[in-house]
Amino acid sequence: MKASHQIAFCLLVLLAAGFSATRLSSGKTSATQKQKPAAAQAAPAAQQSQVDRGRYLVEDVAMCGECHTPRDAYGNTDNSQLLQGAAIWIVPVQPNTNWAMRAPALAGLPGFTDAQAETILEKGVGPNGLAIQPPMHIYHMNHADSTAIIAYLRSLSGTYPRE
């Protein structure tokens, strides 16, 4: 064989080896994909992702704990009592007789049905039919957000300490 033919032959062998290696590894990938959870396991996974989204909205976006979690001696939120209800520390700029002095416990969402909690978060109206008192915000959440938040709050036990 001429030297140039030898080189061409070597290249061909290398190409073929590379090609079959790719086929092998992609074969492996599809085999693993087939082992992924079946539809039967999809429901708890979806529920968990809803709880995770609710946690994100409560803890990182709407910051419910700023008012609903008690504070320690330094004024920081005491996360060993996360969302267990707290005295309100924000004062109105002008006197406001409608100002609430306490934010109720949210961990486990005790005392509220899902429908009541949805009305609070989507319309800003409490179970008594009145507008939520300040300094609680009048939220106008969409239904997906309010149900995710409710799922998260229900997932917390009343005796929360986490971490």
Binding site for ligand HEC (CB under 6 A): 58, 62-64, 66-68, 88, 100, 103-104, 106, 112, 117, 120-121, 126-127, 132-133, 135-137, 149
Q: Residue 25 carries which side chain, given as an amino acid letter?
A: S
Whichever of 2 and 148 has its CB closer to ligand HEC, that residue is 148
DSSP string, 11-47: HHHHHHHHHHHHHHHHHHHHHHHHTS--GGGHHHHHH
Is residue 121 exposed (0-12), middle (13-18) or buried (19+ Cβ within 10 Å)? Answer: buried
Q: Shortest Cβ distance from residue 45 to ligand HEC (Å)?
A: 24
Q: Shortest Cβ distance from residue 15 to ligand HEC (Å)?
A: 59
End-to-end CA distance of the chain: 72
Whichever of 23 and 137 has its CB closer to ligand HEC, that residue is 137
Q: Shortest Cβ distance from residue 74 to ligand HEC (Å)?
A: 19
CA angle 154, 158, 160 (to 5 degrees): 95
Whichever of 37 and 117 has its CB closer to ligand HEC, that residue is 117
Bridge partners (DSSP) of residue 131 are 125
Whichever of 42 and 131 has its CB closer to ligand HEC, that residue is 131
Q: Shortest Cβ distance from residue 62 to ligand HEC (Å)?
A: 3
Cβ proximity of 70 and 103 under 8 Å = no
